[in-house]
Amino acid sequence: MHHEIYLDANATTPVLPAALAAASDTMQASFGNPSSSHSTGLVARELREDARASAARLLGSGEGTVLFVSGATEAIQTAVLSSLCELRERRKRGDTRRQVLVYGATEHKAVPESLAHWNRLLGLELEIRALPVNAEGLHDLELLRAWAPEIGMLCTMAANNETGVVSDLAGIERALVESASPALWLVDCVQALGKLALDLKNTRIDYAAFSGHKLHAPKGIGMLYVREGSPCTPLVMGGGQEGGWRSGTENMPGIAALGAVLSAACRGDTFKPHETLHAYRDRLVQALRDAFPGVAFNAPLERTLPTTLNFSVPGVSSRMLMDLFEAAGVRVSAGSACSAAKAAPSYVLEAMGLAEWRTTSAVRMSFGPLADEAFIDAACAAIRDCGRILRDSASAIKPSGERAANDADAAHVRALDWRELDTLLQRDPQALLIDVRERFEVAAAAPVVRAGKTAVNVPLTEIEQEVPRWMLEHAHPLVFFCRSGNRSLQATLAVQREGHVSCIQLSGGLALQAVR
Ligand code: PLP
């Protein structure tokens, strides 16, 4: 139960061994600059074009262009800049039609942020509107049809990163075509790559964005598809690489690695087929139902990617479920990785109009097409263990009454890292090591022992009862820790406020225990 079960593939994935080998080759044996005209350069160019050919095959890009960029955020940026420059040109040419910028309400933040940024920077002052989604996460196509004649740019995603909801791209396309919309259309295909069949040439899509690290290529490589004839404005100018559309010496390790992943996806011998992924997810669903009676899935399973589950357990907050899974070695998230640091409920689930208990309890579990039986077996077993632990410690779970630590108070807290803790424990064997996590989290993980000293468990909610006793042994330090350092900071502040003079917190928490 204590090894890591990574169920957060929508955030990122480990690199495919063949991709790692391909990247490594471009850094040593085939290290050439693809712009050089000598043989070393020609080899690199060949590798780059092989990767592009695999991309073209997998995406069905036809006469369109596939550019290598640093990731989906850059691809989105380029598509937005290109579209907005084109809208400005249309205006200059005397086109006086209204031009509205429209994005789906559940888009990744990269989309609305880029629209707002470039709209402001280019001084266009166009209206930006979010297209609502229904309770299933699908775009309101009636409204889209009504807006279509005035849309200058439309941004929709192929599949949502938090819920896995697969958009009705054919329906969106019909709405645009039937109303002869002048819209330039960007589709964020990040979560679709390798999981949904794409045939871009046979669609009306102008731009499609991709990120390698969501499908077992490294971070820092992605792709932008540009339909033949659609406008393209470079975001980066320089030596004229990528046909002048994206300058800068190519990220060859990234391109070669992505090429290896794309060619594996084309061959069909590496990634699991759809039916297998569906069967895997059915097993995870059953494990969740067994572990957490009352579990509610936040998007209809038949409308979502087979690799994503978003669910809520009544009466158990996202934070609490996350802590429980984390303690059992299961890595999940409460929404997108980029918003993990913010405590706010998911805007994606709010856009779907889900009840508040669901948005505040939501957890996302996602896996990739490299998953196998053994992995799913282990994941199901760990999920069932988590359910058991939660039931066994149901009495220990009560509203935590945690309050957000105040930055000004936090500045006066003494903090140690794990190595400094060992030194302190050796110097003062009477120091007390206090784990402030909930009992069920402690029960799910191995005991914490440092410098021969075993930690005692006093959940944050019960700290105040212990303070009088600790005050009597004033001379010895109290060291508080938790998973991330957040609750231990609150504990340290609380005990310090009671007048204890040697409270210390372990910065970074258990999450960093293995780092040093
Ligand atoms: N779009 C979606 C749907 C995503 O899930 C992500 C990654 O979180 C992005 C865009 C941004 O990708 P990157 O951060 O790799 O540029």
**DSSP code at position 82:** H
Angle at 28 between CA 24 and CA 29, to 5 degrees: 105
Residue 285 Cα to ligand 1 midpoint, Å, equals 25
Close Cβ partners of 72 (under 8 Å, ≥ 6 residues apart): 108, 110, 188, 190, 209, 210, 211, 222
- Residue 191 Cβ inside 6 Å of ligand 1? The answer reads yes
Give the CA radius of gyration of the chain. Answer: 26
| Angstrom distance (rounded) from CA 186 to CA 203 | 12
Residue from 211, 214, 305, 346 whose mutation best tests the ligand 1 pocket (most atoms within 8 A of CB): 211
Which residue's CA is minimally distant from atom 12 of ligand 1? 72
CA angle in degrees (0–180, nearest 5) for 58-213-286: 90
Residue 213 CA: nearest ligand 1 atom is: 15
Taking the centre of ligand 1 as the mean of its atom positions, its distance from the CA of residue 21, in whole angstroms, is 25
pLDDT of residue 463: 86
Q: Does 206 sit in the ligand 1 pocket, CB within 6 Å?
A: no
The predicted model scores a pTM of 0.82
d(CA 73, ligand 1 centre) in Å: 6
Token pair of 434, please?
């206090």
**CA of 73, closest atom in ligand 1:** 16
Q: What is the DSSP letter of 199?
A: -
> What tens-digit pLDDT sequence spans the chain (516 residues)?
457 999 999 999 999 999 999 999 999 999 999 999 999 999 999 999 999 999 999 999 999 999 999 999 999 999 999 999 999 999 999 999 999 999 999 999 999 999 999 999 999 999 999 999 999 999 999 999 999 999 999 999 999 999 999 999 999 999 999 999 999 999 999 999 999 999 999 999 999 999 999 999 999 999 999 999 999 999 999 999 999 999 999 999 999 999 999 999 999 999 999 999 999 999 999 999 999 988 999 999 999 999 999 999 988 889 889 999 998 999 999 876 665 555 678 999 999 999 998 999 999 999 999 999 999 999 999 999 999 988 887 644 443 433 334 444 455 678 888 988 999 999 888 899 999 999 988 988 888 999 889 999 999 888 888 887 887 776 789 999 999 888 888 888 888 877 787 889 898 889 888 765
Give residue 111 CA to ligand 1 midpoint distance, Å: 10
230 lines ligand 1 (CB under 6 A): no
DSSP 206: S
The dihedral sign for the CA sequence 487, 492, 493, 498: positive
**What is the Å distance from ligand 1's center to 356 Cα?**
26
Query: Does residue 8 line the site of ligand 1, with CB under 6 A?
Result: no
Going by CA atoms, what residue is nearest to atom 5 of ligand 1?
A: 161
184 lines ligand 1 (CB under 6 A): no
Ligand 1 atom closest to the CA of 212, numbered from 1: 15
Cβ of 258 closer than 6 Å to ligand 1, yes or no, is no
Q: How far is ligand 1, taken at its centre, from the CA of residue 209, in Å?
A: 9
Q: How many whole angstroms separate alpha carbon 374 and alpha carbon 506? A: 36
337 CA: nearest ligand 1 atom: 8
Torsion of CA 507, 511, 514, 516, to 10 degrees: -20
Task: Tell me which of 85, 189, 232, 338 is the catalytic residue.
Answer: 338
Q: Could you count the other beta carbons within 10 Å of the beta carbon of residue 130?
A: 14
Residue type, position 20, single letter = L
If one residue of 10, 214, 219 were mutated to test the ligand 1 pocket, choosing by the most ligand atoms within 8 A of its CB, it would be: 214
User: Would you state the pLDDT for residue 395?
Assistant: 47
Distance 156 CA to ligand 1 centre (A): 13
157 CA: nearest ligand 1 atom: 3
Q: Is 338 a catalytic residue?
A: yes
